[in-house]
Chain A
């Protein structure tokens, strides 16, 4: 990038910041986790893809999720090449795309869920759809819809200069992932770039239900805390109330995806509500752990 381009970009940011209230807005995801913490429990973070099976049903399901105990909702953007997803989420997002889902609809889903619930609503997305719309434009529309920010499974802070700028400008959370394979240096760098909470990947693998929670999850959380993370949530392979109970004992939040998507697939929004209620019973610290 030439010096001139950089200069132009900085100018743009400065004038943009002056117009926005972004920098003074508190993190919505952090606030949701802190509310749970004040109640003496971990937060429940639930994932659903936008547009599965239809845009309206994905809204209904996300509302049911929030009203039955989820503090933070992750709305996934269906993408053609979801390399971090296992078969259940792949099948759901492929169906959403086949049903004609368009990225612009994600803002409608975010707005509908934000308006109807108290939950912080994050968008989880692979990076190319954001890049295609334009990082700043995506951030602007997400903020306008009331969204809390983005979770970015294939964007590391090393490549995130544009997103860090845009998220500062619009006051959005940027949730980066840390993994069992992250070095201490990378852990520190990632935690420092994060806003909202740090997403601790429990195991080396893709999304999907597992029989048990990997032991490495506890270690990743401890390392993230040692690197300065104030809020750490654990995801991947968390599929039942027992897992939730186990993780709630040491993490600030528990992220459930595939199990919720399976519930929606098999039983519609009602089944999502029932599962959320069941999962949230595992959140209280010392709840039979």
Chain B
């Protein structure tokens, strides 16, 4: 006898959603069967306080003006929408436009959310923010907002991610944040979130947990999306201005899903625009090494929300794998789970290899080094573009927007390793040929200049 109603019952059908009206501005706490608050009672009061503060703030013209001012005069918004004409040749000849979140201050979309939440923290009278980070982009953005607004900042980062993203660890420290390497579990993003939650429950009276993705307990998914909606709003306006029409498809990478939900939001009520989220397929979804949560996961609860989850038959979280630290997360935001179930957005895996090929193509065709996370969206756009071209007609009449969520400076070491640019000592090949007498005998100690003068 079947004990239970089937899991993941898509309780809302696309027809219902459209009949009910707009998919935009979904307030939470539930997105269909997903979302909610699967959290310890100790944190519920803090979530309520945050919810109340956020709901007031988003109706408050002063707050909205403050955000608009910071977006323009601190982050550098609006970010550009750049047509990638040479890259297009690799995508079936369709027109590809890049939403340039890589040009924001701190180098990714993450700044949109941290400024918003840090302002809310101040409104709540909190003096300290904590954050988790995978690739380091959210940690750097949090450290930046904390420095800018005079808040104390502690960032939890998996020890494995610290190794992969050492440059970002240094950036956070330069910005005055304390970085705590997390050595529990898989030593990546999910474990960093666990430790941040443990910190939060102990320090909730002074501390705001500045969650970096559109996941977690209510109000985080709806709130993080709110601060990123600017991406989709700008992109929609820009593409209309530059081409006179809406795109055929919008592509974004999905880890927790914050950049994707931000750009999707602008197009949710445009039924002609197909939305694609590209998950990290790692070494391939047929292997055990990937982070394709929607593709292969099943509903469960993790970090406060019900959503798709990579889990074993016992409900234990499965360690994810991706070359991209920012996508290396076994969960996904609940609104994406809902958009998947109702068929409004399509989620597909992109392997490490496909992402790195797209990374290389963009570098060489457009002079832009993308984040490896964003390279998953680029690889997806290549596929989508070819499919659109195969549908017939002039491919130049087809338009695809890719959310270029971050720049790749932080990924240079990983990319150099992937493309075989390093020697056996981990040095970039061709950079150790100088025949001049070494300036310093002990690496990292003293300065070459002093040695030379002596």
Contact = CB atoms under 8 A, between A and B. Distances in A.
Interface of A: 1-2, 5, 8-9, 79-84, 86, 90, 94, 97, 102-104, 127-137, 140, 153-156, 158-159, 176-183, 186, 190, 201, 204-206
Contacts of A133: 314-315
Contacts of A177: 40-42
Interface string B1-22: 0011100010100000000000
B159 to A, nearest CB: 15
A131 B5 contact: no
Interface in B171-199: 184-185, 190-191, 194, 197-198
Given A134-B4, A155-B38, A83 B315 contact: no
8 contacts: A5-B5, A83-B197, A84-B198, A84-B201, A127-B301, A128-B311, A179-B41, A205-B202
Q: Which of B38, B44, B184, B300 has most chain A Cβ within 10 Å?
A: B38
Q: Which of A127, A135, A140, A154 has most chain B Cβ within 10 Å?
A: A154
B85 to A, nearest CB: 46
B309 interface: yes
B40 A129 contact: no
B317 interface: yes
Interface string B298-309: 011111000001
A132 B314 contact: yes
A180 B46 CA distance: 12
Contact of B33 (A1, A154, A155): A1
Contacts of A178: 41
A61 B384 CA distance: 59
B316 interface: yes
A207 B313 CA distance: 27
A182 B41 contact: yes
Contacts, number: 128
Given A83-B198, A130-B315, A201 B3 contact: no
Q: Which of B201, B204, B316 has most chain A Cβ within 10 Å?
A: B316
A154 B185 contact: no
Contacts of A154: 38-40, 301
A201 B44 CA distance: 13
A179 B42 contact: yes
Contact of A158 (B4, B37, B303): B37
A135 B7 CA distance: 11
Given A154-B39, A159-B37, A134 B3 contact: yes
Given A5-B11, A102-B314, A182-B44, A206 B202 contact: yes
A137 B197 CA distance: 30
B11 A127 contact: no
B334 interface: no
B394 to A, nearest CB: 44
Nearest to A133: B315
Given A154-B38, A156-B44, A205-B202, A136 B317 contact: no
Contacts of B46: 181
Contacts of A9: 5
A179 to B, nearest CB: 4
Given A2-B11, A86-B198, A128-B315, 16 more contacts: A5-B9, A81-B185, A83-B198, A84-B201, A94-B184, A104-B314, A129-B316, A131-B299, A131-B301, A133-B314, A136-B4, A155-B38, A179-B40, A181-B204, A182-B44, A201-B42
B41 A156 contact: yes
Nearest to A125: B315
B442 interface: no
A3 to B, nearest CB: 11
Contacts of A159: 36-38
A178 B299 CA distance: 27
Contacts of A136: 3-4
Nearest to B32: A1
A140 B1 CA distance: 13
Nearest to A178: B41
A155 B36 CA distance: 11
Contacts of A201: 41-42
Contacts of B300: 128, 131-132
B45 interface: yes
A104 B39 CA distance: 24
Contacts of A102: 314
B38 A127 contact: yes
Interface in B281-331: 299-303, 309, 311, 313-317
B2 to A, nearest CB: 9
A1 to B, nearest CB: 5
A156 B316 contact: no
B190 A81 contact: yes
A142 B451 CA distance: 73
B218 to A, nearest CB: 10
B309 A128 contact: yes
A79 B316 contact: yes
Nearest to B39: A154
B363 to A, nearest CB: 37
A205 B23 CA distance: 38
Contact of B301 (A94, A128, A206): A128
Given A133-B315, A153-B40, A206-B198, A1 B11 contact: yes
Given A128-B302, A155-B38, A178-B41, A206 B201 contact: yes
A135 B4 contact: yes
Interface string B39-58: 11111111010000000000
A34 to B, nearest CB: 25
Contacts of B203: 204
B273 to A, nearest CB: 28
Given A154-B39, A159-B38, A176-B41, A80 B202 contact: no
